[in-house]
Structure 1
Amino acid sequence: MGNGQEKQALGIGPVLEKFADVKRIAVLRGGGLGDLIFTYPALYALRDAYPDATVTLLGTPIHAAVVAATEGPVDDVELLPAARGVHDGPRNGERFDDDAEDLAALAAFFAAMRVREFDIALQMHGGGRFSNPFLRQIGARHTVGTRTPDAERLERNLDYIYYQNEPDRWLEVAGLAGAPAMIAPPLRARKEHRESIAGLRDHRYGSLVVVHPGATDPRRRWPASYFADAAAGVARAGAQVLIVGDHSEKALAQEVAEVAARQLVGESAVAPVAVRSVAVRSPAVRSVAGELEIGELAALLESATVMLASDSGPRHLAQALGTPTVGIYWVGNAFNAAPRGRALHRVHMSWVTRCPRCGADVTQVGWTAPHCGHDETLIEGIAVADVVQDVLDLTATSLLLRG
């Protein structure tokens, strides 16, 4: 555990004594969009426990974009240089390229961080083999974070156990810094981004369902044809469906939209609207992938009735914005990344534990075992009809809550 005096046990884990005279807090978190969202409950807890302190995120460009585009607990972002196990630079296949580490850039970063004189630095980036030595070099008065048995110790430490709900993990770390767990308020998209996406909403449809068919790891992706079937099913029930994704996912999103649209040919998801005696119809399903900046994506997700997605950053962002979600998970990812509540969030889990091609145990891949080299989806067995029913159920709940 830690070496601070235990004050109380509250929910997630022990809450130790607060540190004194805290004005500047740094939080180390690399990774992608979802990785940042997992830390937000802890960041809000730190903000609440140390209301006079600034919270600086040591993060990545996507993190900086999210912070700039939303109203949340982070005051500013310092961009991480490329560093093994903390922030990836260019890769050589699946191996981190040692040449990506610019030693001069790392030295300059650490020097700049030491000048800021952080009072607390928290490591919220994995088991600490690489991130704990990195954190110690910024020169904070106090250090807190997770560690595996082979990682350097910090002043206060939480044992890193791989299969744990990620937001809960970082709430435990915040607790070691004296910040009790709290119910985090939803993020809010900024007004200018809400105005920017206002034209995407077609109010002739009773609801808006946003679908994200992508995922960084191909094993976490529900097949595109399944997403298309689900999108068509939701559209038949009277929803407008927008498919989202980044630039790399444009082809995937377009495929989902086109297959769904073909299924809807000859069907009427919504009656035509007469405008100056001309019948006008907007497509019930279409892709906007690659068209939205992160702030616009946040505003769209905030305005959505429900979001449907595999385990992905946009799904986590939707949850943080307070939007009901239907998520499709491999069971191992569900332990770490699925929402805990079910009133506003539904989780469909695949219980596959072995690679469909070679039979390797995938429950340890990426943790205590190497990747077997196969990227077949692990969630193909989840039925479309069950997913659609949950989208429709949450649509009714969402519309009722929003009045």
Structure 2
Amino acid sequence: MTAFLFKRIDNAPLIVFRIIFGLLIFLESVGAIFTGWIKRTLIQPEFTFNFIGFDWLQPLPGHWMYVYYALMGVFGLFVMVGYKYRWSMAAFTLMWTATYLMQKASYNNHYYLLILICLLMLVQPANRYLSVDAGRNRDMRDISMPRWCSVIIILQVGIVYTYAAIAKLYPDWLNYTVVENLMLGKKNYPVVGGILQKHWLHVFITWSGILFDGLVVPLLLWKPTRKIAFTASIVFHLFNSFVFQIGIFPYMSLAFTLFFFEPRVIRNIFLRRKPLYTAGEVIVPGNRNILLVAGMAYFIIQLALPLRHRFITGDVLWTEEAHRMSWRMMLRSKGGYIRFRVVDKNSGKEETVNPRDRLSPKQQRMIATKPDVIWQFAQRLKKEYAARGQDVAIYARGKVSVNRKASRTFIDRETDLASEKWDPFCHSHWILPYPYED
């Protein structure tokens, strides 16, 4: 293991990936400004639904979030050119993670993956060649890297794809319901909108999605099938980029393939002036044991997190408990409605609160189907009424539909959510089981 992980290889894949990665996080940052994402998600809403436990993380007031993202864009450019790489990478990672934790309305697995890749890039010697840092300090210049630099990226990508494939093995995906529902929202696309509604295409997407996620990493690792897998990756990710418009993720995924090819190939394509490293030395650092333990701990956590829903009562597709950070990507469509009944414990006076009067359109689409958000809204109402001197009980009424099936009651109408505690590791008893007959 030591000889394998600490053998020196040419660092061309890492250098090229750093440049592409820096460009992508720059585009992600400035794109959030110019597409109106910051305005819709962080400025216009009355408040944001943060990850529970991070209430102190709130968007900056006024228009300061534009400055915040512009600064992230600058750090992305610094990563790309390799200027003060460690500090720039650390700053972007911290700022991106803070934004991720301060709002859940735009949660997706891609944003979470970006945090993880940032953390992995933070420990990489990615500025040792073709960087401002290496130009200013010739002593740090290097044309090689230990093999673990590639291995950790490959392992992370393998975990993502494997769990994504496993998650698709459930009835609504296998009977084409999920893909059909996903494509219904694309029927107005020019030229291809009609084609996207064809059943044969739904069948193809369903099975190719499973096969691609489950096999792409092994096929990229095996030289005879590498080019085929790479071609399939181009088609798969460009299709996702065009149809689902999911930002930088398809292009970052294509950039990951750099680590699967022989370093010589990457050097010959992108860095022809770079000397090719061929010595193959094994240089074991003095902190080898610390590196190995830290790496093992990280990947054990990555393997465990997507499995935690197995230890929580209920179907995660319905309860949403332990859904996040589990690589359950584009697996279902959900919709519903919810109202809150607020009862003054002293006077018995009741009133109804409609979240639509308080939330942004994106938050409205989320609150009816996400129990943690329902609980957070109830807790917010409790504090607001307490500030007026009222001690209240809060009850939720609403229904949810999964994959366009019949709507079912989601929350126990007799449970006072204001008095409930949130436990991220246990099932909340006030989430009714599915299917639930009224």
Q: What TM-score comes out, normalization by structure 1 length?
A: 0.25
Bigger helix fraction: 2
Larger radius of gyration: 2
Bigger strand fraction: 1
Q: What TM-score comes out, normalization by structure 2 length?
A: 0.23
